Amino acid sequence: MSTHADVLVIGGGIVGVSAAYYLAREGLNVHLVEQGDIAAGSSYGNAGLVTLAHSTPLPSPAALQKGLRWMLDPTSPLYIKPRPDPGLLSWLWRFRAACSEEAFRRAVPVLGALSRLSLDLYRQLLDEEDIDAIFEQQGLLLIYLTEEGFEEDQQVAASMREFGLTSDVLTGDEVRERVPQARADVVGGVYYHDDAHIDPAGLTRALAERARARGATLHTHTKVLGLEVQNGQVARVRTTRGDFTADHVVLAAGAWSPLLAQDAGLSLPIQAAKGYSITVRRPQDFPEVPIILEEAKVAVTPMGDWLRFAGTLELAGLDMHINPTRVEAIKQGVRRYLHIDPDAEPLVELWRGLRPCTPDGYPIIGRAPRVSNLIIAAGHCMLGMTQGPGTGKLVADLVVGREPSVDIMPFAPSRFER
Ligand SMILES: Cc1cc2nc3c(=O)[nH]c(=O)nc-3n(C[C@H](O)[C@H](O)[C@H](O)COP(=O)(O)OP(=O)(O)OC[C@H]3O[C@@H](n4cnc5c(N)ncnc54)[C@H](O)[C@@H]3O)c2cc1C
């Protein structure tokens, strides 16, 4: 016996849940399978930024320049655990090719369009649905310890105006007026007006409930064991709680997507990039604005009674163990910019998650080559919370055959086959 669905969504992170929600809104019979609870993966404890200002690809000229220096230093913001993995080597090769100035400039408006669509959808969701989760649109403040970093980013801010992003440049004293915890060493800041922030787990779960209210069936603690492909179609999806057949299958399993895509003969170049967060009780007077400690690459996000510090990027495969050196690097970063010692504040939770990163910095959204009823929606790297609802909407457009509202060609899964 198997369960039949119009659409089976694999993965209960922000991407899968958003897809299930928008598909259910189309009146389709939607089933979602998730191996743990909703938001068990990287959509749980991330920094929760819904960001236009940082809607830039991971590969960039700066990543190439600094990344080479950082790569083998376990306390740096980017660390690659040396391992003999041909998938990692070919990923790094493609990543290097995507670090050119030209590729970066091409990517910014493409990623920005998907992020903007998502931000509009978040606002619409908050208006139309009874969503009980934190969503604040208070902008994003980047702060600096070095004149060099501050100057570089003033130029970035000027070029971002081209894409309609407004920002203010602040002196160190102006930063301290807004953020009383900022240290005297902070030389300045750039404040972007339009960004928002959310409690990622709360929002993903609330959206899953809205999908359920619109008729989607959510199967948690149901692990997909494999896809059976026959005659160019996913004919069956085997899970720990029985088999499913479906007219369309959406693969939204984040960093784990390549494991399942293999069954469909697809080699998805997604590397897991581990990051950590430390959530503490929010110190009194901490403002509502999220902050990025730019040189340290640490995000500081207020979430109601909590304050979350998140950062580091470690290419270490699907290994989930917590590396204390990386956690300490985040805490050290915080102490350098703010009069806050994360160890002195009451701990709410220490967490790690795996960002699903593609080598060119674009997510993978579209129909799988050679398997006509399989849609891939994965690989959002550092922007999955930002781009989740937009991706879910694009998946629904693909399933019902509607012209998508943003150009999805750059996201095509087939681009890695050329
Ligand atoms: C430290 C950190 C900070 C971040 N900060 C931000 C931020 O501020 N803003 C932003 O936009 N993004 C941020 N991100 C990135 C963001 O978290 C991810 O891009 C996003 O969560 C990806 O969503 P997803 O739904 O694709 O994957 P996930 O949330 O990982 O969901 C995939 C789901 O698939 C399930 N799954 C896997 N295999 C199977 C299987 N075989 N069967 C059934 N289910 C399966 C998993 O359990 C998981 O729940 C951050 C990430 C980290 C680690």
Between CA 304 and CA 136 the distance in angstroms is: 10
Q: Say yes or no: CB of residue 380 within 6 Å of ligand 1.
A: yes
DSSP 96-151: HHTTSHHHHHHHHHHHHHHHHHHHHHHHHHHHHS---S-EE---EEEEESSHHHHH
> Model-level pTM greater than 0.75?
yes
Q: Whose C-alpha lies nearest to ligand 1, atom 9? A: 49
Predicted confidence pLDDT, tens digits, the chain (418 residues): 799 999 999 999 999 999 999 999 999 999 999 999 999 999 999 999 999 999 999 998 888 887 777 776 777 777 888 788 889 999 999 999 999 999 999 999 999 999 999 999 999 999 999 898 999 999 999 999 999 999 999 999 998 898 889 999 999 999 999 999 999 999 999 999 999 999 999 999 999 999 999 999 999 999 999 999 999 999 999 999 999 999 999 999 999 999 999 999 999 999 999 999 999 999 999 999 999 999 999 999 999 999 999 999 999 899 999 999 999 999 999 999 999 999 999 999 999 999 999 999 999 999 999 999 999 999 999 999 999 999 999 999 999 999 998 999 999 999 998 6
CA distance 168 to 417: 43
Residue nearest to atom 2 of ligand 1 (CA): 46
Q: Measure 10 CA to ligand 1 centroid, in angstroms.
A: 13
DSSP state of 247: E
Cβ atoms of 52 and 194 closer than 8 Å? yes
Does ligand 1 have an atom closer than 6 angstroms to the CB of 223?
A: yes
Alpha helices (runs of H) in 220-323, residue ranges in sequence order: 257-261
What are the tokens at 165? 């992003």
Task: Verify whether ligand 1 is closer than 6 Å to residue 15 (CB atom).
Answer: yes
Q: Is 33 in the pocket of ligand 1 (CB under 6 A)?
A: yes
Quote the Cα angle for 400-401-406, to 5°: 105
